[in-house]
A and B are shown apart, each in its own frame.
Chain A
Amino acid sequence: MTAHAIQLERVRLSYSGKAVIETASCTVRKNAVTAVVGPSGSGKSTLLRTLCRMNDRIPGFQVEGQVQVLGRDIYDPGINVYDLRKRVGMVFQKPCVFPKSIVENVLFGLRFHATINGKNFSERAEQALRDVFLWDEVKDRLDDPAHTLSQGQQQRLAMARTLAVDPEILLMDEPTSALDPKSSRAIEDLILSLKDKHTIVLVTHNVDQAERVAEDLICVDDKTICHKPCHPLPGEGTC
């Protein structure tokens, strides 16, 4: 068992032969928040999506090198990719809820993974909604359509849906960039509360946000990546 949740070794990521990241080697600690920062178009999303093989369906996308997640090379042919995605959840920039009720959205993934009965489903839904601090806001309207929620609530609902299947690693791609400052702070608090049980990798454009929530920093730039301590001492912090 390794101490790292994620370990990249000389990883090259390319679309149709054009490299987005030329060589990347880094590690992500367990039960910590790691922020990924870098200029637009530098490949932050590409890097994040590589970690749960979300780019598999993009023709021409190619991964070279070794991507170890939870102790296994996830691009090994023997890997069960559906199980991997269950253990490595992902939350997207734009809150995505399905045109269903609030509670059905929470149970969306769980229904396919769990072998539990009806009563336990509602317990699991409640737990997931409590985890994202949404329970008190929606407990009286669980059967309302999910799109009646605010954007910030929808993003937390999307997180509850991901948390309901109990992933070990949570990948988040700019989860607050579509939200107002207050909702963003709510998500940040949520992220901090989740790191006891989960390993979190967070892509963000907001350096202040990275400083507020992250312990480790990964900078993506110039087709390569580097580690930085999050609160650099004077003179430190160069790649």
Chain B
Amino acid sequence: MNRRLFKERTLLIALYSLTVFGCLVLAVILATVITRGGPALSGTFLFEEARNFGLEGGILYQIAGTLILMTGAALVCLPVALGSVLFQTEFLHSPPLKKIFRLLIYSLNAVPTIIFGLIGYLFFGVFLEAGVSWVTGVLILAVMILPTLHVSIHEAVESIPDHYREAGLALGLSPGQQMRAVVLPQSLHGIITGTLLGLARAAGETAAIMFTATAFSGVRLPQSWTEPVTTLQTHILVLAQEAANPIALTNAWGAGLVLLTLVFILITATLWIRSGLEMEAER
């Protein structure tokens, strides 16, 4: 066997083992969550409110709270992300400014979420006097997922084939008309997948909303702008702290399983929509 072949083989084996290792970690996590959390699942668990600090009853309002924060964040973030992308691609023509704008978005993506939580709390909660409320949570999460949405919408807009743009341009469309007729329809898949990915990211977030938007017990659906919600993430965290109580732990795992399922559904929908729209675009 010559040296090159040997080198290639070794590299291949290394790659394989790394892949297998990655998949294994994922499988172990999934298996653990399912075996530990599975026993907690039942109709009661999913559709009733928590009683006795999460030891009895279910997680109905936790699921509702998570969904409220997620959809709220997406609804607030989408127009902002879309606007900033269109500003960057359609109206900003100087390359250095574009670079700075891009740098800004990427830096935003790298800020630790606890910082978002802190700043968000100081700004929305204290300065705007919203207190611990679901609106604060929605706004903080919206800022947090902004880079995710921005980057994926930006990618979709940049990948619009030039001939579509040129065809629109040659017909005398103004930038606004070009946006409506060409840019938005042709980047729809990126807008949808970006939003879903952003949602998935928001679903996994705990630190930023822990002390700004959520409370642990006695919370149902918010009746006003300034009330907190309760979420799966908070629920898991608080229950997990009672490590001595096996019921609490099982319920924590159960809530974790539900959260994981929510995220899984989002990611699957993302992939499904993306492949569907890509097929349409290629026809």
Contact = CB atoms under 8 A, between A and B. Distances in A.
Interface in B167-224: 167-174, 177, 181-182
Nearest to A56: B169
Interface residues of B, number: 19
A87 B172 CA distance: 8
Interface in B146-173: 163-164, 166-173
B163 A94 contact: yes
Interface stretch (A35-43, A158-166, A193-201, A213-221): A158-166
Interface residues of A, number: 28
Contact of A112 (B95, B163, B169, B173): B173
B102 to A, nearest CB: 16
Contacts, number: 62
A52 B172 CA distance: 9
A69 B48 CA distance: 74
A90 B170 CA distance: 6
A59 B283 CA distance: 32
A145 interface: yes
Q: Is the interface of B mostly helix, strand, loop or mixed?
A: helix
Contacts of B172: 82-87, 109, 112-113, 165
Contacts of A87: 172
Interface in B29-44: none
A82 B95 contact: no
B280 interface: yes
Contacts of B173: 82, 109, 112
16 contacts: A54-B166, A54-B170, A57-B93, A59-B93, A96-B166, A98-B164, A98-B167, A99-B281, A99-B283, A108-B181, A109-B168, A109-B172, A112-B177, A161-B167, A161-B171, A162-B170
Interface of B: 93, 95, 163-164, 166-174, 177, 181-182, 280-281, 283
Interface of A: 52, 54, 57, 59, 82-87, 89-90, 92, 94, 96, 98-99, 108-109, 111-113, 145, 147, 158, 161-162, 165
